[in-house]
Structure 1
Amino acid sequence: MKKQLKVVVTGGPGGGKTTALDLFRRELCQQIAVVPEAATVLFAGGITRSHSEHVVKVVQKAIFSLQKNLEDIQEKQYPDKLLVCDRGTLDGLAYWPGSESDFFREVDSNFEHEVARYDAVIFFESAATTGHDITSNNPARNESSEQAAKLDKKLQKVWSRHPHFYFVGNSESFVRKIMFGIMTIENVINRHNR
């Protein structure tokens, strides 16, 4: 039996990820299944954000666990499709108020195990990194442009360690970003089918 493929689409707030995923879903509907973003599921369900370090850690542990479970659900529901994950388990490192080793101790895992969950990473750089407006169509997002730019750098530092990391810069036109993402997903599928 072939291993089911998983691609993460991530990046700082305001990178166009949500819109891109919607277009990927439309363009590649027969080939992919999208795993929703765990943080959005949690915050849209009534969990409120907090600045308390203890609460942030508990929330990030819940997001990590929920992300894994959402991926498991989609794997079982769509065994013949490539999974496109709206963020991945390593995104929590950018939001974690402690060290990387502390994060992995709390979630009972390690970097190598988590990075191996995914066959490729498509990183959409936030418009905030160049000072552009990041007004979002995601009501669960509330970061300022400055916060979004910092998160983008942290997320990039984490995910760029993946062996198949594809960076989509903010300077690209949105149409080019989408085309690059679709081509990357198709390349992952084709590489696996050889």
Structure 2
Amino acid sequence: MGLLERYHASPHRQKINNVLMVAGFLSLSVPLLAEGVQFILRFRRRTDDKTVTRRAPSKIYRVVVSGGPCSGKTSSLTHLRDACMHAGYEVLVVPEVPTLLMQGGALYPGLDGGPRLVAFEVALIQLQIQMEESFAMIARSTGQPTVILHDRGSVDVAAYLMPSDWLAVLSALGGLSTLDLASRYHQVVHLVTAADGAPSFYTLSNNASRTESAKDSRVIDRRIKSAWSLHPHQVIIGNETDFAGKLAKATDVVLVGAHKFFSEASKETGDIEEGGCGGGENFGRRRFK
């Protein structure tokens, strides 16, 4: 009886198959394992020699310019853009998302909008995040230190909602927290509404979308300020001076922050988070890449 016939006639054929399978597996895996060990040893030698290549540090500094109605955001954004460019930075400006939606016919449902209001704000924040990431992608492509100015940020939405509706929005966004959204930005510049401290300059004439009375604007301003208060780098700029002085303060805050950020980034030898402001061990743990 030949070997093949003896194999088929054997009552131990299954055991023989198992042995052959193990032998075949080892014949493949042992060389791979040995190669893996050699790779690890080579990697450790490179690490010991400090020759491991690291990714380049972040070159994007994200700033939110926020505040109540008629606070000077539009004028400030133009001034900040020019000042940052003059300082040698590339500058991008993310436009205000609520205005884009309303200009397209998507009307704000109002505080009593219920599910429609939640859906509106969820869509708004989703668009906000997508726009921010698109601008960041463009900034990365330049390879240059870039300041991205945001005409309001995602946390502003909380100021226009009841707390229960804000929680519903966060839940619909996949269980994000206010902290998660705030940590997308390095700095928040809050410009106080002219209705608080400079009432003679409060006007509705320069913005067709503005309908708030001076009293309502002060309330909204405080709500926005409170919504962002958990951010460790929120700076409040009031109306103690004339508007030129207000612009100068905002410009100084942004340029000092950007200079510090890029100076520290250039000294880093490891990876740096682009999005997020730091501010403690647990601050901004979730990042959007």
Tell me whether the two structures share a fold, i.e. TM-score over 0.5.
Answer: yes
Does structure 1 conserve the Cα–Cα contact (< 8 Å) formed by 2:197 and 2:238? no
Do structure 1's residue 101 and structure 2's residue 167 form an aligned pair?
Answer: yes
Alignment of 1:27-176 (within 5 A): 27-29=83-85, 31=89, 32-51=91-110, 52-79=113-140, 80=144, 81-99=146-164, 100-108=166-174, 109-130=176-197, 132=199, 133-135=202-204, 137-176=206-245
Runs of 4 or more, structure 1, over 4 Å off, are: none
Structure 1-normalised TM-score? Answer: 0.90
2:38 is matched with: none
Distance 2:64 2:137 in 1: 18
Larger of the two Rg values belongs to structure: 2
Q: Give the aligned residue type for 1:74.
A: F
Amino acid at match of 1:36: P
Structure 1 residues 71 and 179, CA gap change in structure 2 (3 angstroms): same
Residue 82 of structure 1: SS of its match in structure 2? strand
Contact residue 179 and residue 230 of structure 2 kept, 8 A: no
CA distance in 1, matches of 2:205, 2:173: 29
> What whole-Å deviation, never above 9, does each CA across 1:39-70 have from its counterpart, x for those lacking one?
11111122223332333222211211111111
Measure how far apart 1:34 and its partner are: 0.8
- For residues 45 and 172 of structure 1, what CA distance do their matches in structure 2 show? 37
What TM-score comes out, normalization by structure 2 length?
A: 0.62
CA distance in 1 between counterparts of 2:162 and 2:242 reads 34
Root-mean-square deviation (CA), in Å? 1.8
Deviates most, 3-12 or 101-110: 101-110
| Identical columns (%) | 26
Distance 1:13 1:188, change over 3 A: same
Alpha-carbon separation, structure 1, partners of 2:215 and 2:115 = 23
Relative distance call for 1:49 and 1:101 in structure 2 (3 A) is closer
Asked if 1 retains the 8 angstrom alpha-carbon contact of 2:109 and 2:120, the reply is no
The total of aligned residue pairs comes to: 194
Higher relative contact order (CA 8 A, sep 6+): 1
- Answer whether contact 2:198 2:239 (CA < 8 A) is retained: no
Q: CA deviation at 1:143?
A: 2.2
Aligned partner (choices 79, 82, 85) of residue 26 of structure 1: 82
Partners of 2:67 and 2:193 within 8 A in 1: yes
| Corresponding residue for residue 2 of structure 1 | 57
Structure 2: tracts of 5 or more residues without a match: 1-55, 264-289
